[in-house]
A and B are shown apart, each in its own frame.
Chain A
Amino acid sequence: MKVFYFLLIFALLIIGGSAFVAKFSFQEQFQMLKDISLGAMSVFTSILAILATANFLPKDIEDRTIYTILAKPVPRFSYLLGKLIGIFLLLALAILLMTGLFLAVLWLQERGVLAETRAQLQGGSAEDLALALKEVTNSTFNANLFPGIVIILVKSALLAAMTLFLSTFASSGLFAILMASALYFIGHLQATAREYWLAGGDISWWTRALAGGVALVFPDLQAFNFVDDVIAGVAVPTGLFVQVMALGGLYVAVYFALAAMVFSGREL
């Protein structure tokens, strides 16, 4: 149910935002609508992934629901997998709804601009009108946006799996949220640490060791940051898209396996 609050905020943000940017040129309007909507999608799914996952294990323990479930012949592994799949579905639904809302607002805005353009060029040549309309449609929708949105979903799935791993040894939901948030920021710096570590050069051993530690233990979240450039009209090459998806899948599998390993030995 709380997901719908997120969606409500998202809807208010993009509808309010689209009304606010009405004074700009249509290219600017579309660019800003995409900037705000996809940025918000990325923020909301990341927050949702962390908050939804961090709470369920400590909450199930606190409510004693977990004892009822695990008293039945349900392996701990299956219990965790069920929870994770549930969160993945929740994230997919949230992304789907946000994408639908975003496309609807974009379409409505495009219709408005197209009608305005037709009115302005009334009486002009058909060729000029066709060119002007094409310019509007070209700056509205871009099929490259879809791979960007899919990568947002994969990144949020990774965050969910990572938070699940943290929650298997966290004593409270708050601890898991704080840890996952810290890891989120460190994960975005992992690529910088890795480059620093691999480049070597004239750096002290402990700085190198620290950079190496960050590069090895934390996930590379920058690898999933395509949306900023996708909004700017850059197409994600298929090969790169497949590799990033595979990397996301690997992270999810490993974090889940480690979570299951820690959880199987946890005293409840």
Chain B
Amino acid sequence: MIARRIAAVVLLAVFGAALIPIQVQIAAEAKAAHFRSTELNLDLREKIGQMGFLAALSGFRSPLAAFLWIEAHSAWENTEWGRMAGLFNTVTTLQPRSILYWDMAAWHMAWNASVAAMQDEKQPSEALRIRAQRQYFQLGKDFLERGIRNNPDRYQLYLQLGVLLRDKFEDHAGAAAAFLKAAGFPDAPQYCRRFAGYEMAKCPGREREAYEFLKALYLQGEKQRLPTLINLLEEMEKKLDIPASERLDHP
């Protein structure tokens, strides 16, 4: 009986050795397909505690992330912005492939926390309030940039980065580049390209490039001919002094 048990374990090891190349190949393919990109390291262990880490190791990352997200929501209701940022960090570490978590974390930081910092009655100094607001803008941007590094194959976070750079940083060149990146994905909505053109038009020195870009969009057909695009083209034609014969024949 003991001999059979030993033989079984030896056979198991032989089988294990034969499977190693297959396991390595599956792991490589999974990595190439952006699976299992979570870094289960000591930093995460400190954030989520021993039981949480054990759960994450055992393949229960997603429910754990959901529970922590609910906790972050409670922190939001109590306007505990610092705690929220910490929880968002943990959630996004656990579920780096979830666009929603990165997007919402960035939005909470750059839109909600930043406004709260600016309206903070406990802080009499306006300079310090502005500083805190900018720090939250930056935190939002960090979330989106890290999200993009983890999801380079999806357009949504590039789009959100464009919106953040446009609305909070007034970085029109950066916003145009982000919108263009988003527009490069086949499943991206058509407005990404228009947004890139609008932002390009706000960049000093790039007016001609923006005009050509928007004109090309206009010539694509009715779907792109929205009032904002038409008005902007008219403005640019005047600004760039485009000869009447070369101007677009828009209503």
Contact = CB atoms under 8 A, between A and B. Distances in A.
A240 B26 contact: yes
A194 B57 CA distance: 15
B185 interface: no
Contacts of A233: 97-99, 154
Contacts of A213: 13
A42 interface: yes
A134 B227 CA distance: 24
B63 A39 contact: yes
A247 interface: yes
Interface string A189-219: 1010011001000000000000001011110
Contact of A215 (B16, B22, B38, B59): B16
B59 A42 contact: yes
Contacts of B64: 39
Contacts of A236: 33, 35
Interface of chain A: mostly helix, strand, loop or mixed: helix
Instruction: Output the residue of B9, B70, B154 with the most chain A CB within 10 A.
Output: B70
B100 A239 contact: no
Interface string B101-136: 100100000000000000000000000000000000
Contacts of B34: 229, 234
Interface stretch (A20-28, A80-88, A94-102): A20-28
Given A185-B54, A229-B35, A233-B97, A254 B15 contact: yes
A267 B5 CA distance: 13
Interface residues of B, number: 50
Given A169-B5, A191-B23, A42 B97 contact: no
A220 interface: yes
A221 B57 CA distance: 10
B66 A254 contact: no
Interface residues of A, number: 61
A229 B15 contact: no
B244 interface: no
A5 B115 CA distance: 48
27 contacts: A25-B104, A31-B66, A32-B69, A32-B70, A35-B65, A35-B66, A39-B62, A39-B66, A185-B58, A188-B57, A194-B24, A195-B27, A216-B17, A223-B30, A224-B59, A225-B59, A226-B35, A228-B62, A231-B95, A232-B95, A237-B29, A244-B26, A247-B19, A250-B19, A254-B11, A254-B15, A265-B1
Closest 4 CB pairs of A and B: A39-B63, A35-B66, A216-B16, A232-B97
Interface of A: 20-21, 23-25, 27-28, 31-32, 34-36, 38-40, 42-43, 165, 169, 184-185, 188-189, 191, 194-195, 198, 213, 215-218, 220-229, 231-234, 236-237, 239-240, 243-244, 247, 250, 254, 258, 261-262, 265-267
